[in-house]
Structure formats: structure tokens, C-alpha cells
Chains A and B, each alone.
Chain A
Amino acid sequence: MYAFLRRLSGDDLYDLYLLNHKRCLKKHKLMSKKNFYQATLDKKWSGIKRCC
């Protein structure tokens, strides 16, 4: 349940990123948690994200 809540709220995004990086994104430079968090937010708010 706790894991599901973390997943749903986006709490474990960085953990997932680390896992993903180890698996298939090795050629990219590993981002620090802070940089990753900021990049995720910038990306999230760059288009239409909300409606009525």
C-alpha cells in the first residue's frame, strides 16, 4: 500500500530513474536528485496539463 501511494504521488520517481538509468540509459550522465527533480517539474509544466 505504501509503495503504491509513493508510486501514485510520484514520490519514488528518482528511484525509478536510477533503476532505469542502470538498465538502459547508461550513455546519459546520471543526474543528481535535485537536478532530476527540477528537470521533471520543468518538463511536466511545459505543455497543457490541466483542463476544466
Chain B
Amino acid sequence: MKKYFKNIVWVLLALLGALAFSTIALSRNESINAVWFITAAVCIYMIAYRFYASWIAAKVLVIDEHRKTPALRLQNDKDFIPTDKWIVFGHHFAAIAGPGPLVGPTLAAQFGYLPGMLWILIGAVLGGAVQDMTTLFFSTRRNGKSLGQMARDEIGVIGGTASLIGTFLIMVILIAVLGLVVVNAMKHSPWATSTVAATIPIAIFIGIYLRSIRTGRVLEASLIGFGLLLLAVFAGGLIDHSQTLRTYFDHDSLTLAWAIIFYGFAAAVLPVWLLLAPRDYLSTFVKLGTVIVLAVAIITLQPEIKMPALTQFTDGTGPIFGGSLFPFVFITIACGSISGFHSLIASGTTPKLLDNEKYIPMIGYGAMLLESFVAIMALIAATVLEPGIFFAINSPVGVVGSEAVDAIQKINSWGFKVTVEEMELLAKNMGETSLFARTGGAPSLAVGMANIFGKAFGTNLLAMWYHFAIMFEAIFILTTLDAGTRVGRFMLQDMIGNIYPKFGQTSWMPSIILSSAIVVSCWGYFLYIGVIDPNGGVNILWPLFGIANQMLAAIALSVGTGILIKSNKLKYAWVTGLPLIWLIIVTTTAAYQKIFSQDIRVGFLAAARNLTDKINTGLIEDSKISITHQLIFNQKLDAFITLFLLIILWTVVIDMLRISFFKKN
């Protein structure tokens, strides 16, 4: 009877999910409620977790709860520590969910809400969560080995080297693009700049508090820090209203880019306890709190989605980034759907903490579903805005022009209504002087979040909510930026240490300074490219990051598929093989288009040729010729990097197939 009842509940859940999903998918030219998004997502996650994840665990991976995990067998009180399942879940989720699931869906909203929503749900359930779970399982069964090590063991030196290079490249491009997102959110905004700047001394204070005043009192320090962060948002408002103080924080993109570069260097060189660790604690609390409040607000308010299901930009003419729906929606939304970077965490600390294999579905599959849910909320926050406002905030100067009137005219010509007065009023309400051309996704997401929070808790505090949301996003981003720079530094020290062992000593000061400077220069250069690019930088950098990230996912899935085939489970190889094939198609098409497309907003080489022609025909002013030469070089460099990534991907996949089918052990 009990089983019968349970089955009925699952059938009802499936029907509800199908109803929500079809309502979203089939609605055209009519307003749709955000609650349908939440319902569809939750039903799909529950069914996927209960049936698909359980089936993979039982049949494909054959999880054995009586088998001792590396944390138990190799317990050393250093890396291998058996840990409570909820702590491992918290650690894993905090590590995988950065700003990616917030930024990607916001940018992809230029295609309408439907493609993004479908890819977030289907990609996470059939791809992302499967990748995370299988990698976690395979690493756990191999004493917690890293992805690079597994690739080297299972595929060969090529696989291992490819994942190492891939990781470093992603790190560099990811940091650059995230730096760009923060810069665009802060440019000429004294309130946002002062609030984000205040997070640094607050983190340092918390670091000193935790180390010297109340050692290890994480909870207490985090609560004090959270209070100080709220105070910083409030104080930012006062600074913004003061004519003298606001000038100290009113800067253009380039100055802010230099500040971020300097910050990244400082974070990589300074001791972890002073800046990185306390910022990490603060970000965890701010992240969890804000995401929960946002979910509650969306469920209570049930906002209407204003963006159409599909926009005319599916043909590739979108203002935010060039490129058609296929393949670019699939690489724009990486985190939240499928992200290769997760496999590094799933084969890093997580398998070394796990005390029973039976928690692998909950941690590997479940944490990814939760991240996907964060991406759905970001998509809702972006699509509840009037489309005209969304495009006015996110369209770069190079596309709509630098004057407000021109920008509005252009956006109106696309069929999205918005007026200069509306934008001025919105900017005033948000405590900003202008919200035009605030590319990168962070400001439009913050406006969306502020609207939702404002409706839930009072519209008189809109400016406060907007800057709170900016601070929330900046904290996420800076945590990835500083930790990423440090990781890049370690990677470089390791690599150079193979040639010159002294350099490999991670505490040797000359090595620390030199390697940090190299890593910062690498991403700083790309950040600089983004800042000087008239198309907003996101157009160049985000697809590059997406291609690199999805390529790493393909490497992780190749390793998984190879292991399945080699362990005589060919009939189940489709579990990792299908998302792998999809990613190969998507990344190859995207890379091909980014290199060879004749459209100057898509193809790197076409853009370079176009700029060269402009110089030759005298269309570029003399003062801008040197910067144009730099842009030409950058476009060619991006084309080269994309080609390089593509070659690595195909080499790994072909090698995996060769080893799986033709080389019998």
C-alpha cells in the first residue's frame, strides 16, 4: 500500500512537471508566471535525482556502501579526512557555484527565456550532474586522484597534459572575464565602487579577527563581517550623495581594471589567512543568504516574465554577443548546466573527504542540481525586466551608440519599447547616473534582483537593494578572481619547478612574486582587451571561456566514457557518451564559427580583417590607430587560442577511443 502511494506521488510529480514544462515551452506572445519555471525545475530535479541518479549509482557505477573510501583507508588528518556528508555537500557546492550560474543565464537571455531554460534543465540533468557524479565516483575509486592524473592514467600523457593546459587556460580567461564583469558594474558608479572596495578592508579585519583576536571562531566572525558588509552598502549611499567623497570612487573602466589587476596580485602574494580565507567565509554566508531570500521572494511574488520565449536574435545578430542560438546558447550557459571546472573539484578535495560511497549521488548529482536552480533564478531575475530595459543595460556602445537617444532608437527599432525617461528614472531609482551600456550581466541581474527584493520588502529601498546585489555579485566574483590567481600561481610554480626545483617551493618569495606576476599579467592582458573593446569585451571573452570550459567537461566525460568502456560496460557508455558527443558537436561548431565566420561580430579573423581594412582605407582616426593594431593582434590571438583548444579536444577524444577499443590491457 505504501509503495502504491509512493508511486502515485511520483506520477503526480511527473504530471505536474510536464504541465509546467509544456506551459513554458508552448507559451507564445502571452505573459507567463515565473512560478512555472520554479515548478518545472523542481519536478524535473526531483525525478532526475530519484530515478536517473539512482539508476546510474546502482547499475552503471555499482556504488558499494560497504567499500571503504580513501578518506577512511588513507586517513592522515591532512588531505584524507572522513567528514560528515552535509559538510562535504556544503564544501562541494560552495566550491562549484561561483558567479558563473549568475552571469551565463543573464547573458543568454538575449535569445529569450526558452533556450536558456531548456538548456539549464536538460543540460544539468543529463550532462552536468552526470559529469560531476561520475568523476567523483571514479576519483573516489582511485584514491582521490585528480582529473589530470586520471586522464594521464586512463588515456595517456596527451590526456593528462591537455587537461593541465586546459585548466590553466580556463583559469586565465575566466578570471579576465569575471574581472570585466566587476569593472563594468563599477564604472562611474561611486556607490558600487566604494561598496566593493570596502569588502577588502572588511575581509582583512575578519582575517585578523579570526587569527589573532578570536582564533577559529568562524561563525562569529562571519556574522560580524556580514553586518559590516551591510553597513558598507549603506555607507556607499552616503558617499554617493557627498560631492567631495564621490569623486574618489568615480572611475572609468581602465582605472578600475588596473585596480582589479593590482588586487589579484596582492591576493596571490599575501598570506591566505589575511584576505582569501575570510573573504571565502563571508562570501559563503552572503551567497547562501541571498540565494535563499531570492528564492523565497520569487515564490511569494510570482513575478511575470516579460522577455519573449524567443527573440529575433536567435539568428546571431544579438547585441550582447554575436552568434546564433546554436551553438552559442550552449557555451554561454556553462555553469548551471554543465561545467568542466566542476570535475576538478569532484576529483580534488571532495573524494578525499567522503566517508561512504552511498553519498556520491547526493553530493555529485545533488549539488549540481542546486547550482542549476541558482541559474534558473538568475534567468528569472533577468527576464522579469522589461526587454527594452534589459537590452539598454546590456548592449555595448559599439552596437547601440554612446548617446542615450541613439541607443533608445536602436533598441526601439528591434521592437522593444523603452524611453530615455524610463531609463533615467530607473537609473535614479537605483542610485546611479546612467544604466546604459553596463555590459557583463551583473548590473542587469542586480536591477532584476532589486526589483524582486523591492516588491517583496519595499520599493523605497531600491537603490540599497541594487547596490546590495552588486556587492553580492562582486563578492562572488572577487572570491573566484583571487583564489583563481593563487591557484594559477601554484600551477605555474609546479610546472616551472619541474625544470628549476627551487622555483617549485611554494613559500620561496622570489618564486611567489614572479609566478603571481606572470599569472596576473596573463589574465590582466585579456581584461585589458575586454576593457578597450568597443563591443563590450563580453562578446570576445565569454565565448572563449565557454569553449574552454566545455572542452574541459568533454575531457572529463572522455575519461569517464573510457573507463566505462574499459570496464566492460559498453552498454552503459552512453550515459557519459551522449553528453560528450553533444559537447564535441557544440564546442567544435562554436570554435569553427569563432575562427572562420565571415560575420565580424562572430569570427575573430573576420573582425581582424575588418579592422585592417578600416585602417587601410583611412576610416580610423590617427589617435586610435595604435589601439586598433592592438585589437587586431588580440583577435588573431583569440583565434589561435580557440584553434589550440579545438586540437587538444579532438586529440583527447580520438586517443580515448583508440585506447578504449583498440588497446586491450
Residues of A within 8 A of B (CB): 4-11, 13-14, 17, 20, 24-25, 28, 33-34, 36-38, 41-52
Q: How far is the CB of A20 from the nearest CB of chain B, in Å?
A: 7
Taking A50-B98, A52-B339 as contacts, is the C-beta distance between A38 and B484 under 8 angstroms?
Answer: no
Q: How far is the CB of A48 from the nearest CB of chain B, in Å?
A: 5
Once the chains bind, are A41 and B219 in contact (CB under 8 Å)? no
Closest 5 CB pairs of A and B: A52-B100, A51-B341, A52-B335, A11-B219, A50-B483
Taking A9-B219, A9-B222, A13-B216 as contacts, is the C-beta distance between A51 and B334 under 8 angstroms?
Answer: no
Once the chains bind, are B277 and A8 in contact (CB under 8 Å)? no
Once the chains bind, are A10 and B218 in contact (CB under 8 Å)? yes
Give A49 to B470 CA distance when docked, in angstroms: 23
B84 within 8 A of A: yes
Once the chains bind, are A7 and B84 in contact (CB under 8 Å)? yes
Once the chains bind, are B480 and A48 in contact (CB under 8 Å)? no
Q: How far is the CB of B263 from the nearest CB of chain A, in Å?
A: 16
Q: Which residues of B contact A13 (CB under 8 A)?
A: 216
CB-nearest residue of chain A relative to B334?
A: A52
CB-nearest residue of chain A relative to B272?
A: A45
Once the chains bind, are B281 and A28 in contact (CB under 8 Å)? no
CB-nearest residue of chain B relative to A37?
A: B216
Give A24 to B167 CA distance when docked, in angstroms: 37
Most chain B beta carbons < 10 A, residue from A4, A28, A37, A49: A49
Give A48 to B487 CA distance when docked, in angstroms: 6
Give A20 to B96 CA distance when docked, in angstroms: 28
The DSSP consensus for interface residues of chain A is: helix
Give A10 to B216 CA distance when docked, in angstroms: 8
Q: How far is the CB of B478 from the nearest CB of chain A, in Å?
A: 11
Interface 1/0s, chain B 259-291, versus A by CB < 8 A? 000000000000011001100010011000000
CB-nearest residue of chain B relative to A43?
A: B78
CB-nearest residue of chain B relative to A6?
A: B219
Once the chains bind, are B345 and A8 in contact (CB under 8 Å)? no
27 A-B residue pairings within 8 Å (CB atoms) = A5-B219, A7-B86, A8-B90, A9-B218, A9-B222, A9-B285, A11-B218, A33-B216, A34-B215, A36-B216, A37-B215, A41-B272, A45-B272, A45-B276, A45-B486, A46-B490, A46-B506, A47-B487, A48-B167, A48-B345, A50-B95, A50-B483, A51-B335, A51-B345, A51-B480, A52-B339, A52-B480
Give A25 to B80 CA distance when docked, in angstroms: 13
Once the chains bind, are A28 and B273 in contact (CB under 8 Å)? no
Q: Which residues of A contact B112 (CB under 8 A)?
A: none
Once the chains bind, are B77 and A25 in contact (CB under 8 Å)? yes
Taking A7-B86, A37-B210 as contacts, is the C-beta distance between A50 and B480 under 8 angstroms?
Answer: yes
Once the chains bind, are B216 and A47 in contact (CB under 8 Å)? no
Once the chains bind, are A49 and B483 in contact (CB under 8 Å)? yes
Q: Which residues of A contact B222 (CB under 8 A)?
A: 9
Give A33 to B212 CA distance when docked, in angstroms: 11
Q: Which residues of B contact A33 (CB under 8 A)?
A: 215-216
Once the chains bind, are B483 and A45 in contact (CB under 8 Å)? yes
Interface 1/0s, chain B 581-604, versus A by CB < 8 A? 000000000000000000000000
CB-nearest residue of chain A relative to B506?
A: A46
CB-nearest residue of chain A relative to B483?
A: A50
Contacts A9-B285, A51-B344 aside, 11 further interface pairs with beta carbons under 8 A come to A9-B284, A10-B218, A34-B215, A37-B215, A38-B273, A41-B277, A43-B79, A47-B487, A51-B96, A51-B339, A52-B341
Give A17 to B276 CA distance when docked, in angstroms: 23
CB-nearest residue of chain B relative to A50?
A: B483
Q: Which residues of B contact A49 (CB under 8 A)?
A: 95, 345, 348-349, 483, 487
Q: Which residues of A contact B75 (CB under 8 A)?
A: 24
Q: Which residues of A contact B101 (CB under 8 A)?
A: 52
Once the chains bind, are A51 and B342 in contact (CB under 8 Å)? yes
Q: How far is the CB of A33 from the nearest CB of chain B, in Å?
A: 5
Taking A51-B341, A52-B341 as contacts, is the C-beta distance between A20 and B77 under 8 angstroms?
Answer: yes
Q: Which residues of A contact B210 (CB under 8 A)?
A: 37
Most chain B beta carbons < 10 A, residue from A10, A34, A38, A42: A10
Interface 1/0s, chain B 453-492, versus A by CB < 8 A? 0000000000000000000000000011001101100100
Taking CB atoms and an 8 Å cut-off, the chain B residues in 61-95 that contact chain A are: 75, 77-79, 84, 86-87, 90, 95
B549 within 8 A of A: yes
CB-nearest residue of chain B relative to A42?
A: B272
Q: How far is the CB of B298 from the nearest CB of chain A, in Å?
A: 23
Q: Which residues of B contact A6 (CB under 8 A)?
A: 219
Once the chains bind, are B490 and A51 in contact (CB under 8 Å)? no
B125 within 8 A of A: no
Q: How far is the CB of A40 from the nearest CB of chain B, in Å?
A: 8
Q: Which residues of B contact A24 (CB under 8 A)?
A: 75
Give A49 to B491 CA distance when docked, in angstroms: 13
Most chain B beta carbons < 10 A, residue from A4, A11, A24, A36: A11
Once the chains bind, are A52 and B99 in contact (CB under 8 Å)? yes
Looking at the complex, which one of A4, A14, A46, A51 makes contact with B216 (CB distance below 8 Å)? A14
Once the chains bind, are A47 and B490 in contact (CB under 8 Å)? yes
Q: How far is the CB of B362 from the nearest CB of chain A, in Å?
A: 15
Q: Which residues of B contact A50 (CB under 8 A)?
A: 95, 98, 479-480, 483-484, 487
Q: How far is the CB of A39 from the nearest CB of chain B, in Å?
A: 8
Give A43 to B349 CA distance when docked, in angstroms: 10
Give A49 to B27 CA distance when docked, in angstroms: 41
CB-nearest residue of chain A relative to B82?
A: A20
Q: Which residues of A contact B220 (CB under 8 A)?
A: 11
Q: How far is the CB of B148 from the nearest CB of chain A, in Å?
A: 10
Q: Which residues of B contact A17 (CB under 8 A)?
A: 77
Once the chains bind, are A8 and B216 in contact (CB under 8 Å)? no
Taking A7-B84, A7-B86, A38-B273 as contacts, is the C-beta distance between A51 and B219 under 8 angstroms?
Answer: no
Q: How far is the CB of B167 from the nearest CB of chain A, in Å?
A: 8
Q: How far is the CB of B128 from the nearest CB of chain A, in Å?
A: 11
Most chain A beta carbons < 10 A, residue from B77, B98, B101, B348: B77
Q: How far is the CB of B439 from the nearest CB of chain A, in Å?
A: 19
